[in-house]
Structure 1
Amino acid sequence: MPKYYPVMLDVRQRSVIVVGGNTVAAEKTQALVSCGAHVTVIAPELCTPLQEMAERSEIVWRQKVYERGDLATAFVVVAATNDSQQIEDIWQETQERGQQVNIVDVPARCTFIVPSILRRGQLTIAVSTEGASPSLAKRIRQQLEQQFPPAYEHYLQLAAVVRVYLRQHQVSYDERDRFFGDYFASEILQLLAQGAFGQAISQAAALLRAYGITVPESTLFEDMGFLAHSAVTSTSA
C-alpha cells in the first residue's frame, strides 16, 4: 500500500459538506469550523452538539437524506455513515467531480485521511497510522500531550517575535539557525510553563543581545501582547 503524502489543508472560507448527523459527524464538523470552513451538514436528524451549532448559526443544516447531486458546491466532503449504498454514491459523486473526500472508517473510499491532532497555538503535531489503527494514533497523540505542554503556545509566540528582529537586522540564515538552537536549549520554555513570563522574556532579550541585537524587554512584552502582560501581572502580584 502506498504511503500517504502529508499536507496541511487551508479550508478557510471554503465550502465543506458533512454527510451525517451523529457524534462522529459532530467531531469532524467542530474541527472544520474551528479551522474557518463554511460547513453544511446533510442529515435528517442531528445529535445534540450539531443541533447547538446549527442554533448558533455556526453551520448550515440541510434536513434531508443525502442524494446524488447534493455535493456540487463542496471543496471537501466528509461522510460519517454506515449505509453502504450511500457510501458508494458519495464516493462516485466526489470522484466524478474531482473532490477530496473522507468517509470515516472506510479508507478504501477516501482520498485523504485525518490524523489525530495536537495543537499548541501555532504548533500542530499530526499523528497518523495511515488508517491501520486510529485508536492507537489517538493514544500516541495523548502521550505527546505530556511532552508538549500548553506553554508551547507562548514559546512559539515569543519565537515568532524574536525572529522578526533577527530578520530586521539581516542576521544570516545560519546565524538564525544557531540562535534558535540556543533558544531551544535555554530555560525559556520551562519559565513559561511556570508562568514566569518576565524571566522568559529577559532570557529572550539576553539571547538577542548575544547576537548583537538590543531590544528593550518592555518592547518584547508589547510584542507578546495582552496575554503575556496579564500573565506577568498575575505572577508578580
Structure 2
Amino acid sequence: MQYFPLFIDTHDLNVLMIGAGEVASRKLELLNRTEANVHIIALAVCDEVKAFESEPKVSIEQRAVSEQDIQGWDLIYIATADERLNKQLALIAKENNILVNVVDSPEDCRFITPSIIDRDKLQIAISTAGAAPVFARELRGRLESWLPQSLAPLFDFVAGKRVEVQQRLPSFKARRLFWERFFTVNGDKFDHQTPVRYEQSYETLVVDGEILLIDNETNIDWLPIAALSLLQKLDVVYADERLPVALTELIRRDARRESLLPFSQLEYQYGQGDRCLIFSDKVRVIALQAHFPMAKYLRPGSL
C-alpha cells in the first residue's frame, strides 16, 4: 500500500495553492467546501479562481512565488504550467516537512487527492495511486448512482442521536446491535418515519450467535460475495496462526482476535450470542463442522 488513506480535519487547516489556472480552480472548488484557509499565489489568475476571491477563507496574491513562501503551511498544492518550477517547489516543501501535491505529477507528491463522493458526513474516497484517475472517476460515477442524496440528512440524524444512544445503551455490543437493526429497518431512507424506526430499533437487541469456519487452504479471493456481510458482523476471530491479509481486509477492524478455544468454550461463547470466525487447518475445521452443525463453512462458491 503506497498511499495510506486518511481523512484530515480541515478546521483551521492552512493550505497554500501555487498557480491559479483551470486545473487549480478544480482543486479550489473542492477545498472551498471544507473549513480550510486557502491562500493562492500566482502570476496569472483565471476567471474561475477569481470568482472565489470573495469567499471568507480564500485569499489571492497575484505575484511570482518565492522559496520563502514555502514554509508554515499544512498542505501545499502546486499547479503551475512550469514543470521545472513545480519540481523545485515540491522539493523545498518536502525539505520543510510539508505535505505537497503537484497536480498531474504523482512522483513529486507526498499526498494525492482521491476521487470523492460527498454525502456530507458520509465521504467515500477512491484512489488508484495516481495510476488510472480516469477509472477512479468512472467508478465514482457508478457509486454516485447507487448512493441516494437522502444519505446526507440521514447521517445528520444519526450524528444527532449518538449521545442519546450511548446513554440509553451503555454496552458497546448493545449499541452495535441497535445501529445494525436501525439501518436494516430504515435502510438509506430519510423521511417522517425515520424517527419512528429509530425508536422501534430499541425493542429487540438480542441476536443469536453464529459460527463461521474458514480453513487455511481456502483462497479468500474466491469466497462468495455473500460472505462479506457475515464477516463484517463478527465479534471475535479465533486463530492460532496469522490471518491472510485478504481475510483481514474483509473482517471488522474492531473484531477481537483470540487464540482457538476448546469446543466447550466455543459452545459457551456461541450461546452468549457471539458471532465468531474460526480460522484453522482443514482437519480441525471439518471436526468443528461436525461438532457445530449450525456453523457455516465458508468456501469458494458456498456458504
| TM-score bracket relative to the smaller structure | 0.7 to 0.9
1:187 maps to what in 2?
186
The whole-number CA distance in structure 2 between the counterparts of 1:9 and 1:135 is 24
2:198 maps to what in 1?
204
The whole-number CA distance in structure 1 between the counterparts of 2:96 and 2:56 is 28
- Does the CA-based 8 Å contact 2:79-2:86 persist in structure 1? no
Higher strand share: 2
How big is the shift at 1:163? Answer: 2.9
Kindly provide the amino acid, as one letter, of the partner of residue 206 in structure 1: Q
- Does the CA-based 8 Å contact 2:78-2:90 persist in structure 1? no
How big is the shift at 1:150? Answer: 0.7
Inter-CA distance 133–55: structure 2 relative to 1 (3 Å threshold): same
1:158 maps to what in 2?
157
Structure 2 SS opposite 1:82: coil
2:2 maps to what in 1?
3
2:138 maps to what in 1?
139
Structure 2 SS opposite 1:69: helix
2:51 maps to what in 1?
52
Superposed, 1:12-161 pairs within 5 Å as 12-161=11-160
2:245 maps to what in 1?
none
How big is the shift at 1:131? Answer: 0.5
- Does the CA-based 8 Å contact 2:115-2:125 persist in structure 1? yes
Structure 2 SS opposite 1:78: strand
The whole-number CA distance in structure 1 between the counterparts of 2:161 and 2:13 is 33
Number of equivalent positions: 206
Kindly provide the amino acid, as one letter, of the partner of residue 85 in structure 2: Q
> Residues 22-43 of structure 1, C-alpha deviation per residue, up to 9 Å, x if partnerless?
1211121222232111111111
Q: Considering only CA atoms, is the larger Rg found in Structure 1 or Structure 2?
A: 2
Kindly provide the amino acid, as one letter, of the partner of residue 19 in structure 1: I
The whole-number CA distance in structure 2 between the counterparts of 1:175 and 1:10 is 29
- Does the CA-based 8 Å contact 2:115-2:136 persist in structure 1? yes
How big is the shift at 1:120? Answer: 0.9
Inter-CA distance 85–14: structure 2 relative to 1 (3 Å threshold): same
The whole-number CA distance in structure 1 between the counterparts of 2:67 and 2:28 is 21
The whole-number CA distance in structure 2 between the counterparts of 1:188 and 1:34 is 27
Percent identity at matched positions? 26
Structure 2 SS opposite 1:53: coil
How big is the shift at 1:154? Answer: 1.9
- Does the CA-based 8 Å contact 1:188-1:204 persist in structure 2? no
The whole-number CA distance in structure 2 between the counterparts of 1:51 and 1:27 is 13
Q: Structure 1 stretch 22-31 or stretch 49-58: which is displaced more? A: 49-58
The whole-number CA distance in structure 2 between the counterparts of 1:118 and 1:12 is 20
- Does the CA-based 8 Å contact 1:20-1:81 persist in structure 2? yes
TM-score by length of 1: 0.80
Inter-CA distance 147–55: structure 2 relative to 1 (3 Å threshold): same
Higher helix share: 1
- Does the CA-based 8 Å contact 1:68-1:89 persist in structure 2? no
- Does the CA-based 8 Å contact 2:67-2:92 persist in structure 1? yes
Structure 1 SS opposite 2:16: strand
> Residues 89-138 of structure 1, C-alpha deviation per residue, up to 9 Å, x if partnerless?
11221022111000011011000011011111210100001101112111
How big is the shift at 1:56? Answer: 4.3
Structure 1 SS opposite 2:139: helix
> Residues 138-191 of structure 1, C-alpha deviation per residue, up to 9 Å, x if partnerless?
11111111111111112222222333222112431111111111112113523x
How big is the shift at 1:68? Answer: 1.7
